[in-house]
Amino acid sequence: MLRRILPSVRLALQVPKATTTAVRSTSGSVYEPDYLESLKPKFPQYESLNVQIKGYDYPQLESYQRFLHGVAEYLELDVSDCYALPPQKTTVQRLRPNSTVIESEYKLTTYERNLQLNNVDAPVYPQFLRLAQAALPEGVSLRVQEYTDDCEERRYVPDKELLDLKDELERMGGPTTSKKK
């Protein structure tokens, strides 16, 4: 009777071995488990996208950014960052017909918000874009582009005092490289 129990216990404790696939390379052979293939994305992906929205009405722009963030979360997109850039001020002058006399002057402020999306699947991107364009408020512009180093540099405001000190140092002959012993 003891013999009948032991074989069944042995079978219950056996752990199935992981299946492996051999991949040949120039340096020899490497064995990789099959489950690594299942971790790759099914569709091509956009690595990083920058969704830029600009407008003249601050509350409307904030509301639209909140809406886009919600749509991205609903579509299970990875929103890695949301940030604002400093407002840009523009002066517009209206002239009288056939003269250089200023009839009126307007001061406009353009606000900008950005959403950074990472690893966006190619089939999901058009859906996000259609929803964003369908809900686009009047007076707001939408631009989607790949996230670049240029986008990163625009986000930081230069320190005016530090730049002035660097210019003054250059005018004085530049930094000295010799060290005192």
In order along its 181 residues, the chain shows pLDDT tens digits of: 444 444 443 333 343 343 334 444 455 567 777 777 777 777 788 888 999 999 999 999 999 999 999 999 999 999 998 989 889 999 999 999 888 888 999 999 999 999 999 988 888 999 999 999 999 999 999 999 988 887 777 777 777 888 888 888 888 887 776 665 5
Q: Which domains, from first to last, does the chain contain?
A: 49-156 (3.30.70.600)
Q: Cα(157)–Cα(84) distance, rounded to whole angstroms?
A: 11
Note whether 82 and 115 are within 8 A (CB): yes
pLDDT at 24: 44
Kindly report the pTM of this predicted structure.
0.64
- Alpha carbon distance 30, 36 (integer Å): 13
Predicted local confidence at residue 64, as pLDDT: 95
- 165 Cβ contact list (under 8 Å, min separation 6): none
